[in-house]
Structure formats: structure tokens, C-alpha cells
Structure 1
């Protein structure tokens, strides 16, 4: 018995694809595009998958604030440490100084 394959109509395939994926064009400088491609290839990924991973791993401001509050609450509960706004400002200054290569005062 011969096997016959039927090719689905293009509109059927396209409709199914677009239900799952929405393509968006992002305009970037050619150097940025080329770097994204290199980074994706080094990881054995497509640029689409690399960007999705990058975006998924980058927290929003709201997520960072939520993490900060959860960490602060954990430290207070489990270590008896009270972390004030002044402590946070001092720690932020240390990070900025480190990033800028300036000498760092102890916390």
C-alpha cells in the first residue's frame, strides 16, 4: 500500500505558528546584532533563544525590590540582623566604588 503525504495549506501552518509565536523586529546597530549572534552561537543557541534566556534572567526593578525585601526579612528572622536604609546606601556605595576602581572603605 503506497504512503501518501498531504501538505497542509499554508494558511493552516501559518495560523498555528502565529498562535504560538509572535515575531517582533528590533532595530539595533549592526555591531550589536553581530555581537548577539556571536554570543548566541557560542552557546549553541539561536539569537531568538539567546534573547529569551537573557530577558528571562534579567530582573525588573520590581523583582529586584521584591528580592531585596525578601532577603532583608530572611536576615532579620534567621540572623537577627537589622538592615537599615543607611546600610543599604553604604553597601551601594561600596559596589559603585568597586565598579569604578576606587578604594573601598570597609562596611
Structure 2
């Protein structure tokens, strides 16, 4: 026999708006790591999780940043559309920076 549980959306929404705290279940190793990070920063685990959530962008936010960055680069550096050739050149430049090849006399 299968039982389908349905939660009344009105009650659930009203409950989650008025209740401030939520329990998140994680592995003990994750919990210990969060506690250690919070302690190192001199804050509570609650504040640490809030900081992590606030500092981690969603896919939509990343896409918006990409479009804004692309528009800025086109306006201030390229004077035209950003192409795949520009993307490849940027990736090569970054690879050169990481490897230490930028600035070398050839």
C-alpha cells in the first residue's frame, strides 16, 4: 500500500515564514568542518552558513554576471562584439599567466 502525503501549501508557507530556524542534516565530518571554520572566523555556525549562502552565486546570477562582464569588455576594451577568438585568446593568456610564461623574453 502506498501512502501519498500532501502538505497544505498555505499552512506550510505560513509556518516557514514565521519559524526562524531550520535544521540541516549533514554528515558529522561536514558538521565538524563547519564548526572549525566558524571557530577560526570567530563566528557562529549559523553566521558561517549565512555567509556561505550569501557568497555563493546561483547559475542565474553567474549567467547575469557573465553577460554584464561581456558587455563591459565589449564597450571598454574591444569596441565591438566579443567573439570566440577573443575567448580563446583570453584562455591562452590565462594559461600563460598560470604557467609563468607571461613576461618572459622569447
Within the alignment, does 1:50 sit opposite 2:48 as a pair? Answer: yes
Equivalent residue number for residue 73 of structure 1:
71
Ranges of 4+ aligned residues in structure 1 off by more than 4 Å: 85-95
Aligned length: 84
What displacement does 1:83 show?
2.3
What displacement does 1:45 show?
0.5
Unaligned 5+ residue runs, structure 2? 1-16, 100-106
Within the alignment, does 1:84 sit opposite 2:83 as a pair? Answer: yes
The separation in 1 between residues aligned to 2:50 and 2:75, in whole angstroms, is 36
The separation in 1 between residues aligned to 2:90 and 2:38, in whole angstroms, is 34
Q: Structure 2 matches for 1:92-107, cutoff 5 A? A: none
The separation in 1 between residues aligned to 2:41 and 2:65, in whole angstroms, is 28
The separation in 1 between residues aligned to 2:45 and 2:70, in whole angstroms, is 37
Q: TM-score, normalised by structure 2?
A: 0.61
> What secondary structure does 1:62 align onto?
helix
Residues 38/66 of structure 1: CA separation in 2 closer, same or farther (3 Å cut):
same
Within the alignment, does 1:60 sit opposite 2:61 as a pair? Answer: no
RMSD over equivalenced CA pairs, Å:
3.0
